Every structure is written in C-alpha cells, then in structure tokens.
Amino acid sequence: NQEDIYGVTTGFGNSASNRISTSLSEELQQNLIAYHGCGVGDYLSESDCAATLLIRMNCNAKGFSGVSWELLAQMETFLNIRIIPAIPSMGSVGASGDLTPLSYVGAALGGKRKVYYQGQLRETAEVLEELNI
C-alpha cells in the first residue's frame, strides 16, 4: 500500500486527487517544467538570474522542499562555474508569481533551454557537454 505524495504520485491543484503511477513521476516533473516555460520578453540580467538561482538554492537547502543533495550540488556547481539559467522578464501570474521563472531554472539544471556562460547566451546542453557535466 503506497502513500500518495502530492505532485509526485498525484496531480497538482484541482488534479491532486488524480493518482500518477510511480513509473511516470519523473515524466510528470519534466512536463511540469515544460508547461510553465512560457516566459516572454528580454531575458533578465545575468546577475538577476544568478541571484534567482542562489536564492532558490538557499530555500531548497532549508529542507522544506524535499529536494535531493544532488540537486543542491548541481545548483552549487552552476553558481561556482557561472552557468546561469536565462530567465525571461515576463510571463508569470498567480499567487506566488515564481512558477514561470523557476521553470527556467529547473530546465537549465536538467540541461534544457538557455544559460549565460562566459558572457554569452548559450544552449544549456552545449555548455554542459563542453564542460563534461
């Protein structure tokens, strides 16, 4: 008898009563990141995006979000090497206002979308491959 975990083995919001197979839970997370990746406009500055990554890492490190140590280590690596997720300046609405911007952080950590690296806007996958990360 497996206990449901909100957003891992269930849907979100009004879909929270919908059970998701554990074999599909990773796909659910990837789809959530893709779904919220609807930002528009110019990208925020590299320093603003780096601050977003640092603040999210700090929040995650407090232990309330149930993230892995590996994720925190990946975030630290991105900050130390200055692989900074590129976050569009507009696109998020809702109570918290952070779903769209943070989807760009999550996507970059997963090797998708764009990042600032060495003063250039680049595809994340290319940078990670170049650095063998």
Q: Which residues pair with 123 in a beta bridge?
A: 114
Task: Tokens for 53, please give them.
Answer: 């990554």
Which single residue is written with the structure tokens 């997370």?
A: 29
Q: Name residue 95's amino acid.
A: A
Q: Output phi, psi for 49, to 5 deg.
A: -70, -40
Convert 33-72 to b/e letters by CB count within 10 Å (16 or more is b). Answer: beebbebeeebbebeebbebbeebbeebeeeeeeeeeeee
Active site residue 6: yes
C-alpha–C-alpha distance, residues 78 and 59, integer Å: 16
**Residue from 6, 35, 43, 116 carrying the catalytic annotation:** 6
Q: Which residues are catalytic?
A: 6
